[in-house]
Structure 1
């Protein structure tokens, strides 16, 4: 396949809640640029503009749908991608040795710089600062802290320690309870479901997703959840940012 001037081999994707270990590709694009006869599986490479590395992903066709699979989750984690991010993929070389350049935009519409080798060091220092700030948090009310992981930004929900869950949120024999999350500026989200999952608890559901998105939670942020009202299960959330954001 020859790429002529003006042949714009590119597509965009908005990451959704089910974007974890795979990414579904536009069928029209895959058929035009990626399908090679009977060869239904290929290795492709993803790169960003500033990073000095490439990530390999496996391309696969399943029941007339097309995916990036093995390697996609690592690409997401390494580049701090999250639900709502807008990604533009541009194919830079023919499919025999295909390389995509990927550009990121955050849910607020702003360009999201990719991580490079020096950026990783700076990011780690900033995340450590967020952890240290959270450790200095003090209150007479019961509280716990949690560092945001990729799974907490997906459908899994937010972690609640077992001891905190059973002592302050659930009554004997209960498996579910409704909570309210609030932040320092007075914003409130609820009811947010909280469930006993045997080894821990989790806050989940539509209102948790609204809280997550409207407060722009990102991987590495540290949240301190402080019990303000045990009767109404009101938890105040103080967020220590891992990275500076334009919100």
Structure 2
């Protein structure tokens, strides 16, 4: 199956993504428009979407906004799509105006270790922070309520924990209290943060912060927990 790519100039809040004519033609030839599509990336995320025709244009719909939020897509991103089979399409992302390729947040853990994930602060993180898929399950979180969030100095904040009903599988996010934590810990757009769930305490730790570095200039400081 041939590979197709195009540049996204969509507003981040748009609920759907238009598909190029050539890409749709390849999908039709391989009969990939007959049911739900699984879209996934190298970062470990996957979403169940549909492709619908509206007037003369085909779109990714029914969940595309979750892709935008999870991958923190923005204007100028290049999206590369490659069909793998009749129900799966692989998506790669490239940001040509930045030094590094954009990497998706991914949950990492071993059986005996505290699970953690990496998230790059974006405009969507002003009032909430969504856990990536699989993180709540790996920590044993299964109810809404509150959670204690710690910084590197051991200071604690009580934040709201609620179920994000935009997904077919259970996925949680931090709500009230997160904005105050972000401001008081000077987390800015573009900062890369590592969050670790301390199983022995039942608390979420901001374990590492790497400040955003410009393409030209000195590298920002990075601090990590011992």
Instruction: Say which one has the larger Rg.
Output: 1
What is the TM-score with the length of structure 2 in the denominator?
0.48
What is the TM-score with the length of structure 1 in the denominator?
0.44
More helix by share: 1
